[in-house]
Structure 1
Amino acid sequence: MVTAPWIIAGSIFLAVAGISILMLVWMWRMITLYQPVISNTPLFTHSKERYSSRDYQRLRRFGLIVLASAGLLFALIAENVVNGGALTIVDQEIAQWLHAHSTTMLTQCLLVITQLHDPWVLSPVAGLITVYYIWKKRWYAALSVLLVVQGAMLLNLLAKHSFQRARPTFDDPLITLATYSFPSGHVVASTVFYGTLAALLISQKPRHHRAIYILPIAFVMVILVAFSRMYLGVHYLSDLLAAFLEAMIWLVLCLTPLWFKRLK
Structure 2
Amino acid sequence: MAVDANENTRSRFRQKFVVEERYLPLESRRALYRAAAGLIAVGLAGFTVLLIGVLTHTGLEQLDTPVENWFDSLRSTDVTVFMIVLAFVFGPIGMPIIILIVTVLWLILAKHAWRPLVLAVGMVTGVILAQVLAPIVQHPRPPIGLMLAGPDTSFSFPSGHVLGVSDFFLITAFLLASRRREHRFTVAAFTVAVLAILLQVFSRLYLGYHYISDTTASMALSLIILGTVIAVDTHRTVRIPGEPVEGKHSQIERDGT
Deviation at 1:156, TM superposition (A): 1.4
Asked which structure has the greater RCO (Cα within 8 Å, sep 6+), the reply is 2
Q: Provide the aligned C-alpha RMSD in A.
A: 2.1
Whether 1:63 and 2:36 are equivalent positions in the alignment is yes
Are 1:129 and 1:145, in contact at CA under 8 Å, matched by a contact in 2?
Answer: no
Are 1:122 and 1:193, in contact at CA under 8 Å, matched by a contact in 2?
Answer: no
Question: 1:85 matched to which residue of 2?
Answer: 58
User: In 2, distance between residues paired with 1:100 and 1:170?
Assistant: 17
Question: 2:221 matched to which residue of 1?
Answer: 246
User: In 2, distance between residues paired with 1:237 and 1:259?
Assistant: 33
2:120 to 133, 146, 155: 146
Question: 2:137 matched to which residue of 1?
Answer: 163
From the superposition, tell whether residues 63 and 172 of structure 1 become closer, same or farther in structure 2 (CA, over 3 Å). Answer: closer
Moved more, 210-219 or 123-132: 123-132
Deviation at 1:145, TM superposition (A): 1.5
Where in structure 2 are the equivalents of 1:213-224 lying within 5 Å?
Answer: 213-224=188-199
Which residue identity is paired with 1:218? A
Question: 2:148 matched to which residue of 1?
Answer: 174
User: In 2, distance between residues paired with 1:217 and 1:253?
Assistant: 21
User: In 2, distance between residues paired with 1:187 and 1:157?
Assistant: 13
Q: Describe the superposition over 1:151-197 as per-residue Cα deviations: whole angstroms up to 9, x where unpaired.
A: 21112111112212110005453232122100110111001111122
User: In 2, distance between residues paired with 1:203 and 1:258?
Assistant: 10
Question: 2:97 matched to which residue of 1?
Answer: 124
Helix, strand or coil at the partner of 1:166:
coil
What TM-score, normalized to structure 1? 0.75
* Count of residue pairs brought into register by the alignment: 219
From the superposition, tell whether residues 172 and 203 of structure 1 become closer, same or farther in structure 2 (CA, over 3 Å). Answer: closer
Are 2:35 and 2:227, in contact at CA under 8 Å, matched by a contact in 1?
Answer: no
User: In 1, distance between residues paired with 2:63 and 2:188?
Assistant: 33
Are 1:181 and 1:235, in contact at CA under 8 Å, matched by a contact in 2?
Answer: yes
User: In 2, distance between residues paired with 1:179 and 1:201?
Assistant: 35
Moved more, 105-114 or 191-200: 191-200
User: In 2, distance between residues paired with 1:204 and 1:53?
Assistant: 16
What TM-score, normalized to structure 2? 0.77
Q: Show structure 1 runs of 5+ residues with no match.
A: 1-43
Which residue identity is paired with 2:202? F
Q: Show structure 2 runs of 5+ residues with no match.
A: 1-18, 240-244, 247-257
Whether 1:191 and 2:166 are equivalent positions in the alignment is yes
Identity, in percent, stands at 23
User: In 2, distance between residues paired with 1:88 and 1:148?
Assistant: 27
From the superposition, tell whether residues 121 and 105 of structure 1 become closer, same or farther in structure 2 (CA, over 3 Å). Answer: same
State the structure with more CA Rg: 2
Moved more, 79-88 or 208-217: 208-217
